[in-house]
Amino acid sequence: MFDYQLKLSKRRKTVAIKVTPDQVVVTAPYNVCEVALENWLKSKKDWVHAQRNKLELSPSIQKPLHTRSLLVFGSVYKIEFSDIIKPVLEHESHLVYLPEELRQDRHEFRRAIIEILTDLLCSYLELCLERLSEQMNCHISAVKIREYKSRWGSCSSKQALTFNSLLAGAPKHMIDYVIVHELAHCHVLAHNKLFWELVEKHYQDYKSARIWFNKNGKKLMIE
């Protein structure tokens, strides 16, 4: 069998199983027959194990407060707390120093991490966005950085670009793909043949980049 947490509900009429990375939760009607429930769960043992295996193999989001680590441009940086006022990054030693006071404040800790990634991405965009926009003959009206949950960037009909701050955790050549992708939208808003031909002209290996984000995008997310 397997260990699980049982939740009884007076409103529920059927039994359901939810498998998460941390536990298995079984929700059942309040008057469920315990023998019947145990027999049914035994029949689902292989399915539960299969779901657990999938979760173990699939990428998981970053939990920097617990792991004391953070992805920065594709590399793992170690997080250390120190008696400093503002966060400090040491790229040569792959270290991120945070103020000691953030250790006990989960909300402020996460906010500081997002600010770090936002600043890093902003600096990188300043280095290459002008060159790529000139190369692709794009006239950008505005550039913003914010945290998205389900997209890496966007381009409005007025050619205003927005990039996901979490991109700063990806390798730089993958960020380049997202930049080219959004700049291509300055000419073609739809994801049609003409759009992908334009992307390929300026980023030949775009198919591999798309596969990379499909496989690894979740790793860039922050708990």
Instruction: Give the phi and the psi of residue 72 in degrees, each rounded to 5.
Output: -130, 110
The average confidence (pLDDT) of the chain is: 93
Overall average pLDDT of the 206-223 stretch: 95
Instruction: State which amino acid sits at residue 100.
Output: E
C-alpha–C-alpha distance, residues 176 and 186, integer Å: 16
38-93 pLDDT, tens digit per residue, is 998 889 898 988 888 776 665 688 999 999 999 999 999 999 999 999 999 999 99
Whether the CA torsion 102, 75, 135, 177 is positive or negative: it is: negative
What distances in angstroms separate CA 19 from CA 12, 16, 36, 47, 220, one per listed residue? 18, 10, 20, 10, 22
Residue 112 vs residue 52, higher pLDDT: 112
Based on DSSP, count helices (H) and strands (E) in the chain, helices before strands. Answer: 7, 10
123-133 pLDDT, tens digit per residue, is 999 999 999 99
**In the structure, what pLDDT confidence band is assigned to residue 12 with cuts at 50, 70 and 90?**
confident
Q: Are strands 69-72 and 75-82 parallel, antiparallel or unpaired?
A: antiparallel
Amino acid 53: pLDDT = 79
Instruction: Give the phi and the psi of residue 112 in degrees, each rounded to 5.
Output: -65, -40
Amino acid 114: pLDDT = 97
Amino acid 51: pLDDT = 84
**Is it the case that residue 192 has pLDDT exceeding 70?**
yes
Residue 143: which H helix or E strand, with range?
strand 142-146
